[in-house]
Structure 1
Amino acid sequence: MRAPTRRYAYVADGSAIYVDSFATIRREARLDGVPADAEKLAVRMIHGSGQTDLVDDLVIHPGVVAAARSALMLGAPVLADARMVATGITAGRLPAGNEVCCFLTDPRVAALASAWGTTRTAAAVSLWEPLLAGAVVAIGNAPTALFHLLEMLVDGAPRPAAIVGCPVGFIGAAESKQALASFGADHGIDIPFVTVHGRRGGSAMASSAVNALAQEEE
């Protein structure tokens, strides 16, 4: 095999791209309103979305970084709503060989979704329950999954250590994230979280957040 003839001027060194990307984010994004221990979290979420104005819509619970990092160091699993979220989490950043779980393809899911009149992604969240206590949750795809999780918690399900709630879309995404942001005030259940107001979100954003929470090093 041979490399194609270089016809465009672009940076091709992976390390330089990595360093320059984060430098560009810090130069262009307004990070002064972000909690000090959450700056790298915000930067990685911006990196995962390519949008420096994302910082204006971020909602970061003051305890989310410490809670998620401590849980992961103690071996807590990461519970993901979609395979794309799970795949985007860098195993090498997880401090304790943490298991990353997604139950969307579990054979029980289709029947549960049909019986409950909901999406498969939401039904799969109920299969998290045995693992939910002290876990780190990462939702980047389905608003129904986030709504379902919050309903489980109100009903008395075990509480995770932290929730990354960044579902994307036009139907229910903004509303589900607003429900997460006001969950503590509405129900008296204070679970550390990070979310982003509005329709923006997605698997890359959610997995980027977990990668930032997993360790301090950028």
Structure 2
Amino acid sequence: MTNPLPTPRVTEQLTAAGAAIEHESFAIIDREVGAHAYPAHEWPVVRRMIHASADFEMNGLVQFHPEAVSAAIAAIRRGASFIVDVEMIRVGLSKPRLQHFGIEVHEFISDPEVIAAAKAANTTRAVMAMRRAAEQGLLAGSVVAIGNAPTALLEVVRLMEAGQAQPAVVLGMPVGFVSAAESKEALIASNRAPWIVVRGRKGGSTLVVAALHALMALAETADSER
């Protein structure tokens, strides 16, 4: 008789069969990734990012502030808001997983007032979206996750250095060729909040979603061990 499939957790696939496939994917990654220097609390985040992208270069490109994972887990467990730069991240996040922790996701890049303000100030919508989040007090104690717009990440850094924002943790993963790598280095250099970055030009909304799902899984594990 075959062993029954494990009951999936909230932060896994919705069916036991789906969870089994996901676990096998993770096992394949563990076998093929080669050596890595990530401690046990960071590797699940990197592994899920590799799973989402099939890009083994994440092994090494993903770097963590020493307190990033613990800060993210604590924020998720208390239901801190996620502030994201684009709609793609918001719609990519699992509703059951968010509801489990009571997390609200905020993004303002398509807000008509944000668009108008960006045009008036001759800046990007991403910049004004982060300012809107700060004005509403949403950046305090939140999980900020940037996967598309380097200008959003640079604005978060500016707001932190000006004392106008204090997120719990910042995921800096914008993809691209103009200021993407530089914005991540600015976040690291600022060191005003714990951070997780993908160094260089690589990044993207898919990687942010993967990282957030991994962090929610770690938070659920922490809850179950209480």
**Which TM-score band (shorter chain)?**
0.7 to 0.9
Q: Deviations over 1:131-186 (max 9, x none)?
A: 111000110011111011111111111200001110001111111111112222xx
Who is 2:89 aligned against? 85
Structure 2 letter corresponding to 1:114 = K
| Alignment match of 2:127 (pick from 122, 135, 139) | 122
- Mark the CA change 1:125 to 1:30 in structure 2 (over 3 Å): closer, same or farther: farther
Matched, 1:58 2:62: yes
Who is 1:198 aligned against? 200
Structure 2 letter corresponding to 1:34 = Y
DSSP 3-state at the match of 2:119? helix
Deviation, 1:96, is 1.9
Matched, 1:41 2:45: yes
| Alignment match of 1:111 (pick from 105, 108, 116) | 116
Who is 1:143 aligned against? 150
- Mark the CA change 1:58 to 1:30 in structure 2 (over 3 Å): closer, same or farther: farther
TM-score by length of 1: 0.86
DSSP 3-state at the match of 2:42? helix
Who is 2:140 aligned against? 133
Deviation, 1:116, is 2.5
Structure 2 letter corresponding to 1:60 = F
- Mark the CA change 1:31 to 1:139 in structure 2 (over 3 Å): closer, same or farther: farther
Runs of 4+ in 1 over 6 A off after TM superposition: none
Give structure 2 stretches of 5+ with no counterpart: 1-16, 222-226
Who is 2:101 aligned against? 96
- Mark the CA change 1:172 to 1:97 in structure 2 (over 3 Å): closer, same or farther: same
TM-score by length of 2: 0.83
Matched, 1:155 2:162: yes
CA distance, structure 2, for counterparts of residue 64 and residue 91 of structure 1? 23
More displaced stretch, 114-123 vs 197-206: 114-123
CA distance, structure 2, for counterparts of residue 159 and residue 31 of structure 1? 35
